[in-house]
Amino acid sequence: MKHNINNITVIGAGAMGSQIAMVAALAGFSTTVVDIEQVSLDRAKEQLWSRVDRDVEKGRRTAEAVQQAKELLQFSTDQDAAVANTDFVIEAAVENLAIKRDIFAQLDKTAPAQAILTTNSSNIMSSQIADATNRPDKVCNMHFFNPALVMQGVEVVPHEGTSQETRDITIAVTDAFGKDVIELKQEIPGFVANRLLGALRLEALKLYDAGVADFQDIDRAAKGALRHPMGPFELMDLVGIDVAYLVRMAEYEQTGDEASKPHPVLAAKYATGDYGRKTGKGWYDYS
């Protein structure tokens, strides 16, 4: 590709980071996914391998393409070594500002001076992280959607100090991943897609709370009447009720806007600890 990006590093082997890393490897980039926990890397590898093997069985990818991607994808607990020759970093660690700032400060020390540092976060904007580095012009958000192997859109979001070159390269990498670029001209908490989703989710919670319809029927309306692939309650279970709640809370804390506070029904659901698919129960039961 133009701009000479060859080596990609993804920080964090959770649901998002692991699939983003596989997207990069499938696109032909030499990719390393880093996590502090070896068990997270082992789990990520197992899940990714079974995902792509299934794609081969179903005829969605060729065996050669999958084999090549497996060879291109490395797993490591040593971040400093992993970024020593990196050209482009995608951070997808926990949604915690202090942790992200620490990660970026360390990346800045160990990654080559020309490397671009992006974050997959949608509620922590790169302007909140860029000054933890000495290369704020090379920092921006690159926001994927869950499940990253399937969802086509990726939001590219610069902060005020992001250089034009960094935007261009991030867009070129997104293109090379085979994804559709959603280019934002400026930062806004939640970016575009999650703000649209938030409006739908809030209305769904209000309708449910008012007793207008069961949550299953509200999901049926989104699918059967609007052709959404999933209803808003199913989607909360996929993304995680904890994530849905914490994203709202972070936005509320950033903006002070009462309208962005998590809806009481969402807060009550969050308090039960049933976070959706990952805990086996959310709005729906997956056990």
Task: Please give the residue ranges that form the binding site for ligand CAA (CB under 6 A).
Answer: 51, 54, 58, 122, 145-147, 149-151, 194, 197, 229-230, 235, 239, 243
Q: Which residue has the tokens 């899940």?
A: 47
Rounded CA-CA distance 83/134 in Å is 16
The least CB distance from residue 239 to ligand CAA, in Å, is 5
The tokens describing 222, both together, are 């989104």
Long-range CB pairs of 54-57 (<8 Å, 24+ gap) are none
Judge whether 258 counts as a catalytic residue: no
Those residues with Cβ within 8 angstroms of residue 236's Cβ, 6 or more apart along the chain or in another chain:
201, 244, 266, 276, 282, 283
Which alpha helices (H) appear in 33-163, and where do they start and end?
38-57, 63-72, 79-82, 97-110
Closest CA to 93 of 35, 23, 30: 35
The least CB distance from residue 189 to ligand CAA, in Å, is 12
The least CB distance from residue 17 to ligand CAA, in Å, is 13
Rounded CA-CA distance 19/25 in Å is 10
The least CB distance from residue 111 to ligand CAA, in Å, is 25
Q: Which of 122, 123, 126, 127 is catalytic?
A: 122
Q: Which of 7, 120, 141, 194 is catalytic?
A: 194
Query: Cβ closer to ligand CAA: 118 or 194?
Result: 194
Query: Cβ closer to ligand CAA: 169 or 247?
Result: 247
The tokens describing 170, both together, are 């991030």
Query: Cβ closer to ligand CAA: 8 or 16?
Result: 16
Judge whether 160 counts as a catalytic residue: no
Judge whether 122 counts as a catalytic residue: yes
The least CB distance from residue 224 to ligand CAA, in Å, is 13
Q: Which of 18, 123, 127, 143 is catalytic?
A: 143
Query: Cβ closer to ligand CAA: 105 or 246?
Result: 246
Query: Cβ closer to ligand CAA: 87 or 219?
Result: 219
Measured from each CB, the residue nearest to ligand CAA is: 147
The tokens describing 196, both together, are 């649209």
Rounded CA-CA distance 3/172 in Å is 8
Judge whether 159 counts as a catalytic residue: no
User: Active-site residues: which are they?
Assistant: 122, 143, 155, 194
